[in-house]
Structure 1
Amino acid sequence: YRQYASNPEICKTCPFLEKCTQNKDHIKFIHRHIWEHYVEESDHLRHTEINKNIYEKRKETIERVFADGKEKHGMRWTTLRRLGKLSMQAMLTFAAMNLKKMANWTWKRPCPA
């Protein structure tokens, strides 16, 4: 984090001092994370028209994959312990889901030979 402090000499005569800070030394402190501008930029981009359209499709693509993993492939609960075993189960499950998706693509239209 970075901490910014106002100049008390300037703040003493400010008409908005009471709205801005209650500090007895007339100093306003602002704490910002060093990557805060990236968060602000991503929020700005999220509200553009093209990204609104992309975000609407998320429920049909990304969220659907995780829902299928939970409902059809046993990702709701696990009997395994430790991160390594859980990661292996998740990777194998999603690899199987990808193979099923690729098989469906080839069955829908003939594969170019």
Structure 2
Amino acid sequence: PVMPYTRPRTKDGYLRKYEYVYDEYFDAYLCPEGQILPYRTTTRDGYKQYASDPLECKGCPLLERCTQSKNHTKMIHRHVWQDYIEEVDHLRHTELNKTLYAKRKETIERVFADAKEKHGMR
């Protein structure tokens, strides 16, 4: 797969998702302060939800940088295909993918433009 880079959309001043460590064996996240965010549920959109314990978060020194939640709960969403997304992100740095991505504007994008302009697929 040849995919573009998409930057994290976390608000400035808050902890980014990559600062929380995902434990594949226990299917849980670990916050920078050492609290475990266990799996809670899976949404209809295919995202697993991991939530912290509000009683432990209440006195955390990183609470202001962690969440805006009124009940002091940090929620992290992880797509069910996140392992594949991480593999694509890893492949993005290879020389082969860089070469293929550079050719995208000459091949695929032109086809899309023709389809939109000449064939009414806008």
What is the TM-score normalised by the length of structure 2? 0.45
TM-score under structure 1 normalisation?
0.48
Higher share in helix = 1
* Higher strand residue share: 2
Larger CA Rg, structure 1 vs 2: 1
